[in-house]
Structure 1
Amino acid sequence: MTNIAASLDSAIQALRRVPRDPQQLVSLDDETLVTLTRLAAEESRLAQLHISILAGEIARRSAPELGSDGLAQKSGHRTPEEMVRVTTGTRLLDARAAVRIGAAAGASSPSPLTDAVLDGRLSVAVADAVTTGLGAPGAAVTREQLDAAAAALLDRVAGLDPERAAREARFARDELDVAGIATREQALRERRAFRIGRRAGGGGYAQWDLDPETFAVVSEIYDRVTTPRRRQPEFTAACGESETGTAVDTQTNGIEADDRSIEQYASDVFAELLRQGVSADTYHLLGDAPVGVRIIVAARTLTERRGGGYLEGQADPVSVDTVERVACASGSITVSVDANGQPLNLGRERRLYSRAQRIALAARDGGCRWPGCERPPSWCDAHHIKHWHRDGGRTDIADGILLCRHHHMLAHNNGWEITRAGPTYHLTPPGNRDVRDMPTRSRALRDELRGIA
């Protein structure tokens, strides 16, 4: 006890000596600033680890069977999570994660995941995201299989944020329990709910819990409404880019003068859609395409009727039954890919990617492929990794990649380069340092190329 308290006190005193004047940072170069930010993140991660270990012991001493003799209740708290939240002054969400991981780390048989937390390879938040994403054992998945999956994920999630780590864990669970995809989809569908409430000062609010299919439709509408493309100049039939690539005059779509925030604009559009109902003329609200979403599915999944498909822009799978129902109602488009996942080429016959190619790019990339970016396909441009004018690039899928408007401009204007080695794309910042992978976000493509175990 004395050693732990002395070590923590020493760490606190050392942190108090770290300069905290923001003006001292002004003269730092960019590389030093980023290095210091990473060091501060490591400092925070270690502090969360210490809290989690202590929270696990609080949970052990507050076990339900102890009743009012448990530590949390003796201290005036209903649960160990509440006690940790009050004691640390953190959010309940963080307190729950600290208790879960701390309790697992203190168990009689720690897992590879908790070992990785204790030795500093994973943060508490990422470990909790992986645990939650993998879920609990069931009829088709044992605890030993989940522990093995967690161990296999360690290197992949070590550099990720909790949200992306959770998606990787859910993907691993789906691979372990392919037959359970339909069951999990149905469970999400049964949780759907819509509630409205009044605010004391007037007006009100809405809470809508959506099943995956409805969420895909609603988010597609939201993405169209909020995309930066709606605030960019647009080409009309009488103007645009000439066949030689010479820029000509454009006209704006009128939205750039709108003083509403994105959130206010989205609220007004959804309210107007509700007013107009099924007879609405949505052209000025949503553009000239009908509202709907695509489901991307590997061919072998449909042939074998085993596995699932993926609603475009969404990470979680839906069942084969849902895929077939949507295909029956909306039709289907076949996108053939080679062994490297590369479809549909146009060479240098035309500069702009065709609609068919954009569908193929969306199926392959799953959205903006810039590391860490979560923008959906509807927000993205098709970027030539070999520039059309500078490099004599071709309008081929292999030489195209989806980038959101921000990252497309960054690639062109700030000297970032994207290269390809077979099916893999690499991002190189100016100065040729710190080359990064650009993994696909399309799980359907990974299913097709890897096969479903």
Structure 2
Amino acid sequence: MRERLESLARVVELSVAAHDLPASTSRLSDASLIAGLRDLAALANDVARLQSVLAGVAAHRSRREDGHSGLAATQGHATPAALVQAITGGTRAEAQRQVRVGQALLDDDSGCGAPGRSAGIDDPAAGDHPTMVPESDHESTSGSSLRTPWHDPLRRALLEGRITTAQHDAIRRGLGAPTTDGADALAAEGAWSVAAEMLVDEAAGTTVEDLAARARTMRDMLDPAGAEERFARRYDARSWRTWIDENGQHHARVVFDDEAALWVRSLLASAVRPRRGGPRFVTEEEQTPSAALRDDPRTNEQIEYDLIIDVLRAGSLAQASDVFGARQPGVRMVVVKDLVGPRDPFGRLLAVGHAEDGGQSLPGTVIDRALCMHGSTEVTVDGRGNPLDVGREQRLFTPKQRLALAVRDGGCVWHGCRQPASYCEAHHIDHYVADGGRTDIDRGVLLCRFHHMLLHNRGWRIERFGSGPLMLRAPGDPRGGGTVLTSKATWRWAWDPPPLDRKGWRAA
């Protein structure tokens, strides 16, 4: 923290009175501006980490068994989170996160641990700090030969500054506690630990929201039976409530189950996709309604509302094209074929699929029903996720090729972009005319409209040598540099497994 502060102090434009900052910082060069933002972000992460440690200590000194003599109670607060919130002036959710992360960082060596195994993180009433787990009941009583808990990779990554407190919390809460279901507890904890390491490796180029989603998906892959139960709980929580406020305005509150939420998002995306950066390359039949939609005076929210009402009115009597136009909504899911087969005693498929847009995990019962109703399309990939080529017979990628690109890329591959596959365009890595580019899967990549246009208009390039990784090169970057572009698909582990020293991942 001291080094970062000293680096900022050397920037002359920042060494001014507070009221002069806006005018002074406007004179910063682009390089100094970016460097300052990075230093401040790193400093903020350092402060957040230290704040979480102190919040964890405060929580330990405010244990329930301490009653009114606990630290929080002596300061007039019912919980340690309330104490932290009062001191920081932040939100209740942020204070709770600081306490959770702080407790997770404290181990027995700090004098703040508690005997026995820590409770599952999904239990809101449970304590959440990691404890050293005894190898056996005998060793538990003797206090010798303790093994490292499964979430130790998260603790080390946070203390070393490789992930932020928000990323730590997202991964820990998303993965939950290891589930054995009769299996070997050590093997289960080992699989969860490997999953934690993989998510730490991905954290640098992933938003906190996406990281949490990936952690939940990884938990579902490790625990397909639990995925079915969690899906059922969210399904049971579905609800629809309407009310009228004091001004006579009608309101509604909807709690969706997973599958219905995916369907509604697809339905709404089909209505406003041209406004939200959908692909420019569409058929002539699609061009007219797309142009009309862009000129429509309604807001996106009004268009979505009108569509929902139209769907409710039309019901089952209307043709789908009458309501949705050229692009009908739907939820396409990706399933790794080799993992489909085993069933539980109730006959439920023990497998996890993924929504093509966003990668949200779906349990075996949903896969079963989709296969029964709609069938499937098989995509065979090589060891790097690339389907077979189809040559240069046509200029544009075929629908089946775009499907294969969606399976491989999972959305726009540009670093940090979150646009799903249905909003993307297929880009030829080798220019079709100038470089004799082939319309082949291994020479194509999915990009959203913005990044596709940025690449063509500002001199960026995506290169690939043989079957090596996709490399993004900024304008003027020397050959040999660049950023590796990775698939956004949550199912990419099927062809992109962890390093050889983690060979137990798939078996787990």
Task: Verify same fold: TM over 0.5.
Answer: yes
Aligned equivalents of 1:67 and 1:214: distance in 2?
45
Alignment-derived partner of residue 88 in structure 2: 88
The one of 330, 336, 343 aligned to 1:292: 330
Q: 1:441 aligns with which of 488, 492, 497?
A: 488
Of residues 161, 177, 187 in structure 2, which corresponds to 1:120? 161
Q: Deviations over 1:197-227 (max 9, x none)?
A: 4434442433323222112111111222232
- Offset of residue 88 of structure 1: 0.7
Other-structure match for 2:352: 308
Counterpart of 1:208, as a letter, is V
CA distance in 2, matches of 1:238, 1:39: 51
Cα distance change of structure 1 residues 282 and 231 upon mapping to structure 2, 3 Å threshold: farther
Give how far 1:384 is off. Answer: 0.9
Deviations 1:141-180 (A, max 9, x none): 6684344543454333245332232234334434433443
Paired residue secondary structure (1:292) = coil
Aligned partner of 1:447: which letter? A
| Residue 359 of structure 1: aligned partner | 403
Q: Closer, same or farther in 2 for the Cα pair 1:42/1:271, shift >3 Å?
A: same
Taking the aligned partners of 1:328 and 1:279, their CA distance within structure 2 comes to 24
Q: TM-score, normalised by structure 2?
A: 0.77
Matching residue of 1:371: 415
1:379-418 equivalent positions in 2, closer than 5 A: 379-418=423-462
- Counterpart residue number, 1:333: 377
Q: CA offset at residue 292 of structure 1?
A: 1.6
**How big is each residue's C-alpha offset from its partner over 1:83-136, in whole Å with a ceiling of 9 and x where there is no partner?**
222321112221111000111222325634223323322211111111111102
CA distance in 2, matches of 1:32, 1:42: 15
- Closer, same or farther: CA 179–94 of 1 in aligned 2, 3 Å: same
Q: How does 1:137-176 map to 2 (within 5 A)?
A: 137-140=178-181, 144-145=189-190, 146-147=192-193, 149-176=195-222
Q: Which residue of 2 aligns with 1:346?
A: 390
Q: Match of 1:28?
A: 28
**Aligned letter for 1:130?**
I
Q: What is the letter of the counterpart of residue 139 of structure 1?
A: T
The equivalent residue for 1:431 is 476
Distance 1:385 1:199, change over 3 A: farther
Tell me how large the CA RMSD over aligned residues is.
3.2
Q: Which residue of 2 aligns with 1:243?
A: none
Percent identical across equivalent pairs? Answer: 35
Q: Is the partner of 1:403 in helix, strand or coil?
A: strand
Distance change in 2, residues 1:212/1:394 (3 Å): same
CA distance in structure 1 between the aligned counterparts of 2:237 and 2:363, rounded to whole angstroms: 17
Change (3 A) 1:316 1:230: closer
Contact 2:270-2:327 at 8 Å conserved across structures: no
Partner of 1:246: none
Partner Cα distance (1:62, 1:158) in 2: 34
1:216-365 superposed matches below 5 A: 216-228=262-274, 237=284, 253-283=291-321, 286-303=324-341, 307-365=351-409
What residue number does 1:4 align with?
Answer: none
Match of 1:185 in 2: 231
Within 2, Cα distance between the matches of 1:276 and 1:344?
42
Structure-2 separation of matches of 1:69 and 1:314: 48
**Matched position secondary structure for 2:477:** coil
- Partner SS, residue 447 of structure 2: strand
Q: Matches of 1:285 and 1:230 in 2, distance apart?
A: 19
Kept after mapping to 2: 8 A contact 1:427/1:438: yes
Q: Which moved more, 1:330-339 or 1:141-150?
A: 141-150
Letter in 1 for 2:360: D
Asked whether the equivalents of residues 234 and 251 of structure 1 are also in contact (C-alpha less than 8 Å), the reply is no
Q: Distance in 2 between matches of 1:211 and 1:251?
A: 31
Deviation larger for 403-412 or 420-429: 420-429
- Aligned-partner SS, 1:194: strand
Deviation at 1:448, TM superposition (A): 5.3
Shift of 1:373: 1.3
Aligned to 2:242: 196
**Alpha-carbon distance change, 124 to 231 in structure 1, aligned in 2, over 3 angstroms:** closer
- SS at 1:227's partner residue? helix
Is the Cα contact below 8 Å between 1:231 and 1:253 reproduced in 2? no
**What's the TM-score once normalised by structure 1's chain length?**
0.85
Q: Deviations over 1:396-453 (max 9, x none)?
A: 1111111111111111111111112416222111121762222112233432564942
Q: What CA deviation, in whole Å up to 9, does each residue of 1:225-260 have, x standing for no partner?
A: 2323688878665999xxxxxxxxx89631222232
Instruction: Say which is worse superposed, 262-271 or 353-362, in terms of deviation.
Output: 262-271
Residues 339 and 409 of structure 1: CA distance in aligned 2, closer, same or farther (over 3 Å): same
